[in-house]
Amino acid sequence: MSIVARSNDGELKKQLQRSPNGEGDTAQGFYIIGADGKLYGWNNTHYIPNILRFMDSALDAFRHNPPEQVEISQEQAARSYSIQPDSTTSIVQIFTRVSPLPAACDELNRSVGRDYMWIYADDVEDILSTSESASAFPLPRNLVARLVRFHLIDNVRGEPDEWESSDVKLADFSANLVGTNEDAKHFVFHGKYSQETSNHGRGQEGTLDGEFDILTATKKMANFRAFGKATVWGESTFTPGAPKGKFGLLTAMIPANDAPANLIAPHAVWDDGKEYHAPDLTLTENPSK
């Protein structure tokens, strides 16, 4: 942030100015920075020709004013700058799309929302212990809260405002143990959910159906696959351009087998991740445990 604060870029300074409601302060965008901390360029755009021009301009500035020679220690190079999952954590990759695409809507609605979801060892232990007494059972409360507050959300056009506990009106998720062999237990699940802000300006209601295995050897979740359909309305602070009225949102969840999965935390993970691990969920009519 010190590099950002020293920038003379007028547009960046304008973006950094906090709005009267306190929601406009953001340093997001593309940066090109030298190893010595010299800022060569910033831009906050989705338009590919503008990104290419930005990269060419920054490269030209780099050539005319190269960075100072600096020594970067092995300790600095190896340091993690974001929270990373424990080896016992199962990771799921999430994709979100607006579909069907309404006519004449903002071009950004053609984008794909991407995120990762973490499923913790205690979620898995809870599922295993509960499934011993009944083939049909509610999914763990923390896992359900993580889903409905942070991951079942319209993140297609940018970074969404996460759902507050009070926004969640329904979160009914149950699973069934449908198969067991020496390698794993196989489960299927179904969920119904709805969220709406207090001013009724943003909300959604939908369903999520999926399946997963719990491996006998590692007690980790594997082969997690789910598909959801929702009806959505409104937009978040940093997801402008939503289609007018109500529109469809599709969510797909698959195992995260790519390298970035262990380096990029879920969008909702901040600081030490405690709130993400056990998010608050207060429902008056939800039987989930």
Q: Is the pLDDT of residue 262 over 90?
A: no
Position 283 in a domain: no
**123 shares its domain with 213:** yes
**154 shares its domain with 257:** yes
Between 18 and 257, where is the model more confident? Answer: 257
Position 147 in a domain: yes
CB 253 within 8 A of CB 117: yes
**131 shares its domain with 70:** no
CB 125 within 8 A of CB 283: no
Q: Which parts of the chain are beta strand (E)? A: 30-33, 39-43, 90-98, 113-119, 136-138, 168-180, 184-196, 203-215, 221-233, 246-255
**122 shares its domain with 230:** yes
Q: Encoding tokens for residue 242?
A: 């939503």
Residue 131 to residue 187: CA distance in whole angstroms:
10
**Mean of per-residue pLDDT scores for the chain:** 89
Position 286 in a domain: no
**33 shares its domain with 119:** no
CB hemisphere CA count around 26 (13 angstroms): 11
CA distances (Å), 244 to each of 161, 188, 240, in order? Answer: 18, 35, 11
Position 287 in a domain: no
Whole-model pTM: value is: 0.81
Domains identified in the chain, total number: 2
Share of the chain above pLDDT 70, in %: 93
Alpha-carbon Rg for the chain, nearest whole angstrom, is 22
Answer with the one of 29, 46, 75 that is the final residue of a domain. 75
What pLDDT shows up at residue 260? 86
Answer with the one of 75, 100, 125 that is the final residue of a domain. 75
Q: Which parts of 20-88 are beta strand (E)? A: 30-33, 39-43
Position 214 in a domain: yes
Position 217 in a domain: yes
Model confidence at 161, pLDDT cuts 50, 70, 90, reads very high
Q: Is the pLDDT of residue 143 over 80?
A: yes
Q: Which domain holds residue 246?
A: 90-277
Residue 129 to residue 82: CA distance in whole angstroms:
32
Position 223 in a domain: yes
**161 shares its domain with 211:** yes
Q: Which of 182, 180, 177, 204 is nearest to 192 (CA)?
A: 204
**95 shares its domain with 227:** yes
Model confidence at 128, pLDDT cuts 50, 70, 90, reads very high
Between 17 and 84, where is the model more confident? Answer: 84
Alpha helix (H) residue ranges in 96-162: 121-131, 141-146
**59 shares its domain with 107:** no
**110 shares its domain with 159:** yes
What pLDDT shows up at residue 23? 52
Between 258 and 241, where is the model more confident? Answer: 241
Q: Is the pLDDT of residue 175 over 60?
A: yes
Position 127 in a domain: yes
The pLDDT of 155-179, averaged and rounded, is 95
Q: Is the pLDDT of residue 81 over 80?
A: no
The pLDDT of 199-205, averaged and rounded, is 96
Answer with the one of 75, 105, 136 that is the final residue of a domain. 75
The pLDDT of 41-52, averaged and rounded, is 88
What is the tens place of the pLDDT at every residue in 206-243? 999 999 999 999 999 999 999 999 999 999 988 999 99
Q: Which of 180, 220, 241, 284 is nearest to 91 (CA)?
A: 220
